[in-house]
Amino acid sequence: MLGNLDNEVIFKKAFTNKIVFKAFVRDILGIEIDVDVIETEKRFTPKVGNIDFELDIFAESTDKRIAIEIQRVQYDYHFDRFLHYFLMLIAEQQKTAKEYHIDQTVYVIVVMTAPYTISDKNGQPILDEVLLMKINPQNLKGEVRDLYGHQFVCLNPNHVESSTPQQIRDWLDLIYQSIHSPQRSVLNTDNEGIKKAIELISFENLTPEERTKAKNKEAEKIVLMITDNTAKVKIAKKMLFKGFDNETVMEMTDLTLAEIEKIRKDLGMIK
């Protein structure tokens, strides 16, 4: 039985292992990297742009030319937050630079474990399994000039696409199955990184301390979900009293139609 990679304790145990980390980076980004230290809850001192932010998992290559950050997100965020982290990692290099030149290439990988609840600027839902963003200029002909190479990658195994390359599919399967079918997982153990991750997060290989920490994190998540849902219900009630229709309330609160109908019934608006 696999531990749940939606759990912070389990996720960090797997991806702070050098074999897993290097294989994950290789398969997702297509680069080989050597690292000395893989940090968790990374903060920068002094703060970047007077903003204090924390990175789930952070490592630099031994030659100091590549910085990698992995961010696990178990519930939906606006992409502004991810963009902020990405740009702050680039800006952080300017603190000690004598010139404007940026020596390191920055990569940010965000792992989502819940379906997206956001839409693009045209109102179309985001339903992509893999999203990529690269920072490089291009000319009017659309030809890209490889000056920086900084990359942001967002992975969401809840939106399966047949075009996803197999080496990325292996990791998305690991993440998804650890959450939804931990007792019946079918994974590519020919990939050394996947095989090592399975070994690390298998329930029988978790220490009593890790199991306790993991349970505590699950409890925290439940409390957060309850608190978040309570706030959504309060907003929904206010909107319904002001005469907003169900579709608008759904869009603004992410509550389901059934939940909104129940609120209407509780408020005596329908019988």
Q: Are residues 188 and 73 in the same domain?
A: yes
- What pTM was estimated for this model as a whole? 0.79
For residue range 108-120, list pLDDT tens digits in order.
999 998 888 778 8
What pLDDT is attached to residue 271?
A: 60
* Residue 1 within a domain: no
To the nearest 10 degrees (0 to 180), the angle between helices 18-29 and 192-201 is 130
End-of-domain residue from the set 163, 191, 206: 206
* Residue 253 within a domain: yes
What pLDDT is attached to residue 134?
A: 93
For residue range 49-77, list pLDDT tens digits in order.
666 678 899 999 999 888 899 988 866 56
Domain that holds residue 243: 207-271
